[in-house]
Amino acid sequence: MNIGDVARLSGLPAKTIRYYEDIGLVAPLRSTNGYRSFRERDLHKLAFLGRARSLGFTIEDCRGLLELYEDSSRASADVKKIAREHLERIDAKVEELLAMRKTLSHLVHECAGDNRPNCPILDDLASCSHAAPKKGKRVGG
Amino acid sequence: MNIGDVARLSGLPAKTIRYYEDIGLVAPLRSTNGYRSFRERDLHKLAFLGRARSLGFTIEDCRGLLELYEDSSRASADVKKIAREHLERIDAKVEELLAMRKTLSHLVHECAGDNRPNCPILDDLASCSHAAPKKGKRVGG
DNA sequence: CCTTGACCTTCCAGTTAGGGGAACCCTTAT
DNA sequence: ATAAGGGTTCCCCTAACTGGAAGGTCAAGG
């Protein structure tokens, strides 16, 4: 199979598949003309990666999961650990977003949204009463 | 004030403040020795930016908000529009994360997490029954 | 006067997970 | 011969910074 075929079958863009080869997640063969030649096994890996990515696992998580997937003597505890940590990251992010959401929706409701300049949103942003946001990784970007 | 002072007062890292100058969000003066020299007004702007960023506004949002903040003839509708759109982005992201969370927490509960290889998490990732994730910006990264 | 240390400067590279596009090769059909 | 529709490599771009190197400035201490 050429890259276009696996792209269609896996649902991943060809660019992404090349990238995954670049970083060592898949290792397709090469035809004599230089084209990548994918086996069933490569296709399965790519589908696995696509599914894992769609659940929000990072590439490094995927690398670990793929390794465990291919290791028939794995311990399910190792898989579960990766998943649980990811779940915790998701929960943390949701918490963070909901905190933002709460403040924002309050401000949006307060704002008249007309052609006058008076604006509670700007008032809030400009007010000096917020705790200095010092340490802690900025996740919201 | 030197950059260290405004960093302490605003809670923003000096690196970030230099970056904000780079991209034209603040324009401190320069002392004869080449050091940046911040006025009260610059400090206020930086505090404003820090607060807006902590609410998850993008840098471009911040640029717009700052412009409106400094325009006394603004319409609050313009501010509200930026905030409302941001709120919608947050809601979309929360939805996405909760969908992931739902699947993941289910899988984590199903997995024994012991030293045996059998693992429902890997089974799910490897199953071919998932809709091909084609278009739509990947937000989870 | 010299040094130490804390500050400041600029510039370069790296981060995530690819996307866009150029320049070029391979194959098949017209 | 050429056009279309694959494929290839290569490099730059994204957001919003962070880290680090190499070096200038300033106040204090010996």
Closest by alpha carbon to A17, among A43, A39, A40?
A43
- Please check whether the domain covering A3-57 is classified as CATH 2.40.40.20: no
Tens-place pLDDT, residues A16-31: 999 999 999 999 999 9
Report the percent of chain A where pLDDT is more than 90: 90
How near does any CA of chain B get to the CA of A24, in Å?
19
> Beta strand A29-30 with B36-37: parallel, antiparallel or unpaired?
unpaired
The topology under which CATH files domain B3-56 is Multidrug-efflux Transporter Regulator; Chain: A; Domain 2 (1.10.1660)
- Confidence band (pLDDT; 50, 70, 90) for A50? very high
Of all residues in chain B, the one with the smallest CA distance to A137 is B54
Kindly state the tokens that stand for B109. 């509960």
Give the pLDDT score at B101. 97
Give the pLDDT score at B132. 59
Higher pLDDT, A137 or B11: B11
Q: How far is the CA of A140 from the C1' of D21 (A)?
A: 30
A55 contacts in chain B (CB < 8 Å): 100, 103-104, 125
Burial class (CB in 10 A: 0-12, 13-18, 19+), B14: middle
Higher pLDDT, A128 or B136: A128
- Using the CA of A23, which nucleotide's C1' is the nearest one? C17
How near does any CA of chain A get to the CA of B32, in Å?
30
- pLDDT (mean) for A101-129: 96
The position carrying tokens 């029954």 is B129
- Confidence band (pLDDT; 50, 70, 90) for A53? very high
77-136 in A: which are within 8 Å (CB) of B?
77, 79-81, 83-84, 86-87, 90-91, 93-94, 97-98, 100-101, 103-105, 107-108, 111-119, 121-122, 124-128, 130-134
Q: What is the pLDDT along chain B (141 residues), one digit of tens a residue?
A: 999 999 999 999 999 999 999 999 999 999 999 999 999 999 999 999 999 999 999 999 999 999 999 999 999 999 999 999 999 999 999 999 999 999 999 999 999 999 999 999 999 999 987 765 544 434 433
- pLDDT (mean) for A92-115: 97
Kindly state the tokens that stand for A39. 């086996």
Give the pLDDT score at B141. 33
Higher pLDDT, A138 or B112: B112
Give the pLDDT score at B129. 76
d(CA A119, CA A135): 30
Burial class (CB in 10 A: 0-12, 13-18, 19+), A126: middle
Q: Which one-letter amino acid corresponds to residue B66?
A: L
- If phi over 0 gives left and psi between -120 and 50 gives alpha, with beta otherwise, what is residue B26? beta
Give the pLDDT score at B122. 97
Kindly state the tokens that stand for B114. 């012991």
Give the pLDDT score at A131. 64
- Confidence band (pLDDT; 50, 70, 90) for A130? confident
Give the pLDDT score at A51. 97
d(CA A32, CA A45): 23
d(CA A125, CA A134): 17
Give the pLDDT score at B131. 63
20-79 in B: which are within 8 Å (CB) of A?
44, 47-48, 50-56, 58, 65, 68-69, 71-77, 79
Give the pLDDT score at B11. 96
Q: What are the DSSP calls for A102-138, one per residue? A: HHHHHHHHH---SSSS--HHHHHHH-S-SPP--SS--
